[in-house]
A and B are shown apart, each in its own frame.
Chain A
């Protein structure tokens, strides 16, 4: 083989692998991406039952009902609308009424959101990123961030270590 042929072999091989990779990525992007919605967006858009998406919002105070065998139901609200959520499993440590959560699952025929994962992704203010963004956009964001003893302090953006860890704090039923 000449130098040129060898070079072409390598370049050809590289392009083939790249093409395969691009194909894989596009295919995966089509199939495995999950969109994020809030209850208001769900109400407006009429999401079809069975379509998987991520639901974010605040757990409506007083709505949490624990059933048998770790079944729980609660409502997720974003100020504009409420959506009933059913989940079976252990809720994450940081799950509390009035606080933000992200649940992944799909609507059933009756309009209840069947969640198979509930995430309590949070930063220092116990607010999942998606939820905080959505609430801010809708003007329901109360930026008190809990009791801060010193108002002069900048809210520290230091929770990224926590994110690595707590980003994954979740309850799963399977």
Chain B
């Protein structure tokens, strides 16, 4: 009953989305406010029905209704409750349902909070949103219905893939989707602007908060996924340049560029055409990511060819939206009026540079991700493009970008003073050089690259601090005035300082982890001691337990340093009987920002066990950086200019003017 209700709710959501796709556009043509307002109510209705469908699937999973294929294939009655819920989106059908639900959520939010948008703009935005939604509702209903029943219901389910039975899965995909799908809003705004043939600074003010929200979630989602891979896979790696990861990195790079170019548009009414293009590209890359992950093309090009329904369907959606929007862009972009002038050395110029490097870096990731697929389809040759490729392309492009980051906020709009900015960054530069020299001396003349990269990171962080110091007048003015200025500083200034510093923090973590990571791999017997990075790790013994749906073998380690006991660590290996799979549960010991990491291998016949121990210096900074970036985004989001005043239309009746 619940499954059928969920299915029906999904069909109703599709029906509403179809209404929302057409009626408001018609209303905008006819300048009929009533028809245009249909967008709002249908978007809210669509959200309710999509949420109902999602709630239905959650209920089915929670109650372990194995008469539903999706539940049978991905759940098990003994599975802990939290994983019964998170298992809803741990599979193709459920995760697509989550995707459209979030799409409906964003549409609903625009409908609710978009009251101050010009009526025709809101109608167009919500209509475009509904075009996307309709396509994906159709995709789910036709190829990936999560509510299908089994004729002869089995008694027990096949369980969720054990690797996915982890709290990281509870948070990572929803976050990532909030990011991916969040970019649909800026896409819809861009298409609406092209349809209306009008775009101005106010447009950027409406779009920026939505982009910022999506970007914050995507940042956190990527960081979360990386941390999850780090502790769950037992290999100690945190980024593999896997196509699935690249699929989320590309929209992030484009989205970061979009955030910055929207800033230029908002403040200076320039870069309009480019901002529109970036909005389209960012969401196109989100769609591409969805295609790569959901079509099965990554698992096998051949699987894609033999079971084409899903892949071809998403590919069609992809072509329709990317092709359609780019065609519209090509046709209409020239009609958008060009905006303000600026010198190459200026805040705008710096932001253009930022965009240039971010989009180029994004393009190299794009090539590295799709080239093997294209080559295999065209020639049948199989190649793998791995970390070396990305280190050789992505790295050199990010280097100049990071050098430029501290200069950007120091330059004035329209015409900047590079020399003045350099003078104000003198302290940061000196700090960077000192740190580089210190690190280089401390590592006794090893590779010069790592100390330089650390110096660069320090430059970025110190540059962000210098910007704050400059603006508040700290050290230059009496403390009281500086404090007053600090309080008066716009939150967006704090936001960008935090986000930029986060970049530097993440870089320090990345460099330290990759350069000075130490490792110990051996077979150990009880009472053996491993020595690594000044720690002694003694294997006390092995034991086994029974978990809810797995058997577990645990190794007990005592960690000590200089003969003093610090902590116990208990890595384990879990064997999931239903799927006959085992997972490695690594044990992590955090010391400051560094971590000790133990994962287990196979046991040998003599009762010894293969053990892999890592010491990862400052590894936590890798994820602290993105958290700081997201926090910066949040601060920026709370800036009063995004809440107050801005979204008022310049003319009261704008909403009733002609659509073009």
Q: Which residues of A contact B (CB under 8 A)?
A: 1, 3, 6, 9-10, 13-14, 17-18, 20-21, 24-25, 27-29, 31-36, 54, 66, 69-70, 89-91, 93-94, 123-124, 129-130, 132-133, 136, 149-150, 152-154, 156-174
Q: Which residues in A have their C-beta under 8 angstroms from that of B91?
A: 156, 158, 161
Q: List 15 contacting pairs A-B, 8 Å CB cutoff, sorted by A.
A: A13-B344, A21-B361, A21-B364, A24-B397, A25-B368, A32-B392, A33-B383, A33-B384, A70-B610, A90-B610, A129-B300, A157-B307, A158-B92, A160-B296, A169-B233
Q: Mark B87-98, 1 if CB is under 8 A from A, else 0.
A: 000111101000
Q: Is the CB of A89 within 8 A of B95?
A: no
B residues 375-389 touching A (CB-CB < 8 Å): 381-386, 388-389
Q: Is the CB of A133 within 8 A of B244?
A: no
Q: Which residues in B have their C-beta under 8 angstroms from that of A66?
A: 604
Closest A residue, CB atoms, query B599: A90
Q: Is the CB of B356 within 8 A of A6?
A: no
> With A32-B386, A91-B601 given, is the CB distance from A69 to B360 under 8 Å?
no
Q: Which residues of B contact A (CB under 8 A)?
A: 69, 72-74, 90-93, 95, 150-152, 154, 158, 161, 163-164, 169, 173, 225, 228-229, 232-235, 237, 240, 242, 244-245, 293-294, 296, 298-303, 307, 310, 341-344, 349, 352-353, 356-357, 360-361, 363-364, 367-368, 371, 381-386, 388-389, 392-393, 396-397, 519, 521-523, 573, 581-584, 601-602, 604, 610, 612
Give the distance in Å from the alpha carbon of A156 to the alpha carbon of B237 in the complex.
28
Give the distance in Å from the alpha carbon of A133 to the alpha carbon of B234 in the complex.
27
Q: Is the CB of A21 within 8 A of B385?
A: no
Q: Which residues in B have their C-beta under 8 angstroms from that of A159?
A: 161, 299
Give the distance in Å from the alpha carbon of A20 to the alpha carbon of B582 in the complex.
46
Q: Is the CB of B343 within 8 A of A1?
A: yes
Q: Is the CB of A160 within 8 A of B356?
A: no
Q: Is the CB of A170 within 8 A of B164?
A: no
CB distance from B290 to the nearest CB of A (A): 10
Q: Is the CB of A21 within 8 A of B397?
A: yes
CB distance from B559 to the nearest CB of A (A): 20
CB distance from A91 to the nearest CB of B (A): 7
Q: Is the CB of A165 within 8 A of B371?
A: no
Q: Is the CB of B356 within 8 A of A17?
A: yes
> With A6-B343, A69-B522 given, is the CB distance from A165 to B352 under 8 Å?
no
Q: Which residues in A have their C-beta under 8 angstroms from that of B299?
A: 123, 129, 157, 159-160, 163
Q: Is the CB of A130 within 8 A of B360?
A: no
CB distance from A30 to the nearest CB of B (A): 10
| Contacts A36-B383, A162-B164, A167-B242 supplied; 16 other A-B pairs, CB < 8 Å | A17-B397, A18-B360, A28-B389, A28-B392, A89-B521, A90-B601, A93-B234, A93-B582, A132-B300, A153-B150, A157-B296, A159-B299, A164-B242, A165-B163, A171-B601, A172-B235
Closest B residue, CB atoms, query A14: B356
> With A158-B92, A164-B225 given, is the CB distance from A173 to B235 under 8 Å?
no
Give the distance in Å from the alpha carbon of A123 to the alpha carbon of B344 in the complex.
51
> With A32-B392, A34-B384, A129-B300 given, is the CB distance from A165 to B232 under 8 Å?
yes
CB distance from A105 to the nearest CB of B (A): 13
Q: Is the CB of A164 within 8 A of B601?
A: no
Give the distance in Å from the alpha carbon of A152 to the alpha carbon of B206 in the complex.
50
Most chain B CB inside 10 Å of its own CB: which residue of A17, A21, A94, A124: A21
Q: Which residues in A have their C-beta under 8 angstroms from that of B240?
A: 167-168
Q: Which residues in A have their C-beta under 8 angstroms from that of B90?
A: 161
Q: Which residues in B have their C-beta under 8 angstroms from that of A13?
A: 344, 352-353, 356
Q: Is the CB of B244 within 8 A of A25?
A: no
Q: Is the CB of B74 within 8 A of A158?
A: yes
Q: Which residues in A have their C-beta under 8 angstroms from that of B302?
A: 132-133, 136
